[in-house]
Amino acid sequence: MVLTTSLLAQETTKKSFLGKASETLSNIEKHYAVSDGQQLFRETYPYNDNYNASYLGGGENSTKSNPYSYLWPFSGSLSAYVALLEKTDDHKTKAHIDKSVLKGLEKYYDTRQPAGYASYVNSAPLSDRFYDDNIWLGIDFADLYLHTREQRYLDKALEIWTFVASGMDDKLGGGVYWCEQKKESKNTCSNAPAVVYLLKLYEATQKKHYLDEAMELYGWTKKNLQDPSDKLYWDNVNLNGKVNKAKYPYNTGQMIQSAALLYKITKEERFLKDAQESAQAGLGYFFSAPNSENKAAAYPVLKRSDNWFIAIMLRGYVELYQLDKDSRFIDTFKANLDYAWNSMRDKEGLFGKDWSGKVDPSNQKWLLDQFAIAEMYARLAGL
């Protein structure tokens, strides 16, 4: 069989991106892993004794200096390795997930009922439990099941969903809270991915109630958290009905993925239209116009954000591409990731956050930013 030029180029890109994902993961293991047999990581490199996590919403845990990362950064390891496994089906990657990643993950398991994963390791005093942290894990376990058909992964995905479902009530007409201990707001980051999660559970089980719940939650999120003027998504709504109108890449990206999956399942054109409108709006909002910041770039340049927010946004664009084969968005991400490899890495092979060509002022690299880059290389491989 003779491969066409375009197929040869695609295969070359796939190998290149998979190699970059693997090399990045190796660099993470080298510079962040804690060598005490726990299969856990430091939060930053270089390690900073004075580092405080600013993303925990306050409280005692956020002001402590800890030997291990919090759950959220750690969870990026599962996402990255699952993305790599889906593209390679490599037995070494699968073994690493089972023997290292999942072993480390269990250090965050919290037996308070309903059981779930806490924001810090269970050998420390009790920490808060965030519904969105658990949703990202649940999605990964569902993906593991859909790829391998090993029941234990589905069992874990279902167990985590029980915890997430406990974070829903009728206040504000529905929706999932952000944090179990701080039921003050319902956030796009705990509702949009919950739709994705439910749709993957539906795909795994074919139980219609998961699809029904997904459609209801999708409608709630769109009604309460979408900016109707541009089809992007705000951050959260508090129990007084006040909306925080910050717009982050991952929130819109997860609603793109939700809409794309709903179209894939239902074939209702409204969902495809939703996904395409938000995708086009995202290109205009989360990227700079060509040449406006990086004179050498002939492509839209990603605006500075946490790399993980961008990786989660990419999931939505990949899901949409599988449906409409519009390569504009994927090509834009590829161009940015090519730039990142050549110009955003330091001497340790770790990545900064600035995609525009400016010098990144921070010497300290966050664990989750690194896993996010690895995940993106894996997800773009072969597209």
Q: How many angstroms separate the CA atoms of 256 and 247, rounded?
A: 14
Q: How many angstroms separate the CA atoms of 20 and 13, rounded?
A: 10
Per-residue tokens: 68: 């291990």
Kindly state whether residue 78 falls inside one of the protein's structural domains.
Answer: yes
Query: In the prediction, which pLDDT does 179 show?
Result: 98
Kindly state whether residue 142 falls inside one of the protein's structural domains.
Answer: yes
Kindly state whether residue 317 falls inside one of the protein's structural domains.
Answer: no
Q: E strands of the chain, at which residues?
A: 44-45, 109-110, 116-117, 177-179, 182-187, 236-238, 243-244, 287-288, 301-302, 365-366
Kindly state whether residue 43 falls inside one of the protein's structural domains.
Answer: no
Residue 151 domain boundaries? 69-166
Per-residue tokens: 19: 């190699």
Among 259, 368, 375, smallest CA distance to 324 is for 259
Phi first, then psi, for residue 72 (nearest 5°) are -55, -55
Residue count of the chain: 383
Kindly state whether residue 307 falls inside one of the protein's structural domains.
Answer: no
Consecutive 10-residue runs of the chain (383 residues): their mean pLDDT?
52 84 98 97 88 66 76 99 98 98 99 98 96 99 99 99 99 99 98 99 99 99 99 99 99 99 99 99 94 66 97 99 98 97 95 87 90 99 95
Q: How many domains does the chain have?
A: 1
For 68, counting Cβ atoms within 10 Å of its Cβ (0-12 exposed, 13-18 middle, 19+ buried), the class is buried
Query: In the prediction, which pLDDT does 48 show?
Result: 75
Kindly state whether residue 348 falls inside one of the protein's structural domains.
Answer: no
Q: Are 50 and 42 in contact (CB under 8 A)?
A: no
Query: In the prediction, which pLDDT does 123 show?
Result: 95
Per-residue tokens: 212: 């029904």
- Which residues, at least 6 apart from 162, have a Cβ–Cβ distance to it below 8 Å? 114, 115
Kindly state whether residue 287 falls inside one of the protein's structural domains.
Answer: no
Q: How many angstroms separate the CA atoms of 325 and 149, rounded?
A: 27
Whole-model pTM: value is 0.94
Query: In the prediction, which pLDDT does 360 show?
Result: 73
Query: In the prediction, which pLDDT does 1 show?
Result: 45
Kindly state whether residue 127 falls inside one of the protein's structural domains.
Answer: yes
- Sign of the CA dihedral with 175 first, then 178, 184, and 188 last: negative
Query: In the prediction, which pLDDT does 59 show?
Result: 52
